[in-house]
Structures are given as structure tokens and as C-alpha cells.
Amino acid sequence: MQNIGAYGVEIKDVFESLEAYEIAKGELKIFSHADCKFGYRESVFKRELKDQYIIVSVTFRLSKNHQINSSYGIIEEELKKNSITNPTIKDISNAVIAIRSSKLPNPKEIGNAGSFFKNPVVDLSVLEEIQANYENVPNYPAGENKVKLAAGWLIEKAGWKGKTFSTYGVHKNQALVLVNYNNTKGSDILALSDQIIADIEKKFNVTLEKEVNII
């Protein structure tokens, strides 16, 4: 629904089409790649068609002549740790699973909604301002004079990582994840996210956007 992606790859890269049920008319409709209007963590189903359709099936187009993508830095580190120099698809898969398992809490054990914030895309001038105080700011090209920053890095540098407030807080291993330790109200989690957004705006002049849907 939101063009999910991680470690340099997004759903839109292999998406062919989907079938969705239009709630108001009780009819099925096919959406092409163009129809879905994919963006970073975005699609037509999160904007103008939100709550109007139920996605029932998705068709992906995969290549038999695949190209290994291990360019995302942390994947390379995981491969080196396991002495893998010529990785297969399975090696990349195992590396991603290991990375995510080490950083993200199991929702069966700790209540969470996964990554709560999008990685912000900002002007190059904003990156340069941050680099004046933090030389090694993680950043990735995102178009002409634009870069994508790591929201988790910003939140961690602002001092939020691992903070606990009664029965909820920010996960100790991944600052993007807000956690519910024991019967916390949704309003408390939402309030915490707003506090983090305000603090990042103040400290880095960067506006974070929530990735999750608020119901």
C-alpha cells in the first residue's frame, strides 16, 4: 500500500499490477504501475484513494537474470562479518534478516508498529548545516540538490534512542521504533511521536513525517 522498501530496494522496482476491491461499488479493479503513483513510502492508496479500496492481490515481475544489490552499507558489513565475498540472493536475504532481527523488536514480545517515521528528503543546504556539527551524517542522493537523511540517526543524535516513559518509549536498538511495553494508550505513543518531531525540527531544522497510518 505504501511502496514499502528497505536496504536500497522498493516494491515499485518489481511491481507489475494489483487487483483491488472498490468498497463503494463492490467491484474489482486492476491498477497498473502508473495508476499506483508510487513515491517514497507513498502510493495512491495512502492519498486520494485512501480507505476506498481493499487490495486483494499483487503481481510482481521478477528477472531470471538478477543483479545482486549489496550497496547498502550495513549489508556489506554483515557479509564481511560472515566472510562472504561473492554473495548469492540467499546470502543477501540472510544478511537482511539478521540485520533486522538484531535491531527490530519482535511484535509478539514488545508492542510496536515497526518504523514510525519516514527518512526525510531535504535540500543539500540542510545537510551542509548538519555537517557543520556532525561530519559523518548518513545521507543518500535523492534527486537534484536533494538528499535523503536517516531519520533513526537524527532521533538517536537528539538523545531519544532507548528513552522510556512509564510503559512506553523509543526502542533501545532502533530509534525509528516506538514501543508499547504494557497496555499503553495509542494517544501516548502519538504524543511521543509529536514530541520527537518537534525536537528534531528544533535541533536539525528537519521535519520528520510519520510513516504509519493513524486510525
- List residues with catalytic annotation: 41, 115, 211
SS (H, E, C) the chain: CCCCEECCEEHHHCEEEEEEEECCCCEEEEEEHHHHCCECCECHHHCCCCCCEEEEEEEECCCCCCCCCCCCHHHHHHHHHCCCCCCCHHHHHHHHHHHHHHHCCCCCCCEEEEECECCCEEEHHHHHHHHCCCCCCCEEECCCCEEEECHHHHHHHCCCCCCEECCEEECCCCCCEEEECCCCCHHHHHHHHHHHHHHHHHHHCCCCCECCCCC
Per-residue exposure over 166-183, b if at least 16 CB sit within 10 Å of its own CB, e if not: eebbbbeebbbbbbbeee
Q: Which of 115, 4, 116, 121 is nearest to 58 (CA)?
A: 4
